[in-house]
Amino acid sequence: MCCGEGTGRVKKTRAIRLRRSWVSVISLIGLASSTSGCGVIGGKIASTSDPAGDQARHIWDLFVVPVWWLSVAVFLLVTVWMLLNIVLFRRKPGDTRIPAQVHGNPRLEIAWTLIPAIILALIAIPSTRLVFQLNRDPGPGSNALRVQVIGHQWWWEFRYPEFGIVTAGDLHLVVDRPVVLSITSQDVIHSFWPPRLAGKVDAIPGRENTLVFTPEETGVFYGQCAELCGAQHAHMQFRVVVHSQQEFDAWVDKHRRPAPDPAPGTLAATGKQLFEGAAGCAGCHSMNPTYDPSTPINKILAVGPNLAYFSERQTVAAFLPNTPENLHRWIAETEAVKPYSIMAEKWWKIRAQQNQLLTPEEVDAIVAYLRSQ
């Protein structure tokens, strides 16, 4: 769809990456020298110092030059002056001298009114420029991917109006292709934050906010909620899966229709029956990866995350790695895994009260079904 444009973009990106290399050399020296060696920050799944998207990179570059270096200068100035005061002017025992009673020096004071002003201007100019550059919608003419992001207590829903595809937990993007995220919430205020790709933008019910960035590396990136949104705020993660364009096209094709049903007679088939029947899962969770994009965003109300093609999901319950064990535990002991979640409050607890909790075999069957999808 956009291969012609893609090559030009790669070149541009390479130029950016070259520029990035000297910035990162400086940043490495700076951070290493001042924070006692490497390993203090960086190298972690949410490190803002390891950008993998253009927005995160612009922000980190601005942090290093000029903000970090000016900060080091101010730090050194004040620290050295304070140390000199302490060393030079400490009162010796028995010293009864009255020092010169200096009441001030207007010239000096004007000077150190101007110094912070200049430092701040040096920061304000590139900062303001970047503010206007970030999160600007490139407009309908661009090849930007458009995704709607909807925050829920406590999981993330992603809708691709262009393809009529809906998913949850994992946001699928294309490397070097800008994405325009339209972010809102269905309940309380959340904040969408993939630290290595971009800064955060609040997901506010009744409002739509825009986050624009371009992923610059393929792979799986960590994301999380950054605005206190209730008990399980800490367990509202997502992943950003950055594909090549071909991989992404294949992913879209696959998701245009539901996954095939499990073969009759298998454990997974039993699971499907339970899922849609006695276990009551289908009341909240859809297995259909498509939706009608003409529906206004505030008219589509999801209770639980869409589970179509669950086997490819990165997480269970928006924070555990997607393994059969974790999935089993999540269904069997919901209340222990993620208390206060809707599934714990409105499904597990009620079934526990009515003595209708699933048997381990039933849970196994549902796990088999979801893993088969």
Partner 1 sequence: MAEAAIRLEQAGYRRSAVVEWLTTVDHKKIGLLYYWTSIIYLLLAGLLALLMRIQLAQPDMHFLGPKTYNEIMTMHGTMMIFAVAMPLNAAFFNIVVPLMIGARDVAFPRLNAFSYWSFLFGSLLLWSSFLFGHAPDAGWTGYANLSSSRLYSAGPGLDFWNLGLQVLGISSIAGALNFFVTIVNMRAPGMTLMRMPVYVWMVLITAILILLAFPSLTVGLFVIMFDRYFDTLFLNPVHGGDPVIWQHLFWIFGHPEVYILVLPPMGIISEILPTFSRKPLFGAPFVIFAGIAIAFLSFFVWAHHMFTVGLGPVPNALFAASTMLIGIPTGVKVFNWLATMWGGSIDFKAPMKFASAAVWLLMIGGVTGVMHATVPLDYQQHDSYFIVAHFHYVIFGVIVMALLGATYYWFPKMYGRLLDERLGSLHFWLTFLGMNLTFFPMHFVGLDGMPRRYFTYSAETGWGTWNMVITVGAFVLGLAQVVLLLNVLKTMRRPADAPADPWDGRTLEWTIPSPPPAYNFAVIPTVRGSDAFWLEKYGDGHHDAAATDISERRKPATFHQDNPGHGLPAGVHLPKPSWWPMIVSAGLTAMAAGMVMHGTETLGSLGFPVVGLGALVVFFGLLGWHFEPAIEHEEAHVS
**Could you give the CA distance from residue 223 to residue 337 in angstroms, rounded to a whole number?**
20
* Calpha distance 301→297 (Å, rounded): 8
Measured from the CB of residue 134, what is the shortest distance to partner 1 in angstroms? 6
Q: Which of 241, 234, 225 is nearest to 52 (CA)?
A: 241
Supply the minimum distance, in Å, between the C-beta of residue 72 and partner 1.
Answer: 9
Q: How far apart are CA 11 and CA 30, in angstroms?
A: 29
113 binds partner 1 (CB under 8 A): yes
Amino acid 121 reads A
Task: Single out the residue of 237, 342, 160 nearest to residue 334, CA to CA.
Answer: 342
Shortest approach of partner 1 to residue 155 CB, angstroms?
15
With CB under 8 A as the contact rule, the residue among 109, 249, 261, 325 that binds partner 1 is 109
With respect to partner 1, which residue has the nearer C-beta, 184 or 372?
Answer: 184
Q: Is 103 helix (H, G, I), strand (E, B) or coil?
A: coil
Comparison of 137 and 249: residue with beta carbon closer to partner 1? 137
Please say which residue, 135 or 244, places its beta carbon nearer to partner 1. 135
Of 317-356, binders to partner 1 (CB under 8 A) are 319, 339-340
Q: Which candidate, 37, 38, 34, places its Cα nearest to that of 79?
A: 34
Asked if residues 58 and 133 have their Cβ atoms less than 8 Å apart, the reply is yes
Q: Work out whether 15 is an interface residue with partner 1 (CB under 8 A).
A: no
Q: Which of residues 139-158 bind partner 1 (CB under 8 A)?
A: 153
Q: How many beta carbons lie within 10 A of that of residue 126, not counting itself?
A: 15
**Residue 11 or residue 91: which is nearer to partner 1 going by CB?**
91
Which residues from 79-98 bind partner 1, rule CB under 8 A? Answer: 79, 81-82, 84-86, 89-91, 95-98
Phi-psi label, residue 167: left if phi above 0, alpha if psi -120 to 50, beta otherwise: beta
d(CA 141, CA 123): 33
Nearer to partner 1, 117 or 250 (CB): 117
**Interface positions, 43-82, toward partner 1 (CB under 8 A):** 43-49, 55-56, 58-60, 62-63, 67, 71, 74-75, 78-79, 81-82
Whichever of 51 and 271 has its CB closer to partner 1, that residue is 51
Cβ at position 37, least distance to partner 1 in Å: 12
Q: Binders of partner 1 among 193-222, rule CB under 8 A?
A: 193, 195-196, 198-202, 204-207, 209-210, 222
Contact string 217-256 vs partner 1 (x = CB under 8 A): -----x-xxxxxxxxxxxx---------------------
What are φ and ψ of residue 218, in 5° steps?
-85, 160
CB of 365 to partner 1, least distance (A): 28
Residue type (1 letter), 344: A
Nearest to 369 by CA among 299, 249, 287, 297: 287
Contact flag: residue 112 with partner 1 (CB under 8 A): yes
List the Cα angle 44/213/192 in 5-degree steps: 65
Q: Which of 2, 25, 38, 115 binds partner 1 (CB under 8 A)?
A: 115
**Beta-strand relationship, 179-185 and 209-213:** antiparallel
# residues near partner 1 by CB under 8 A: 97
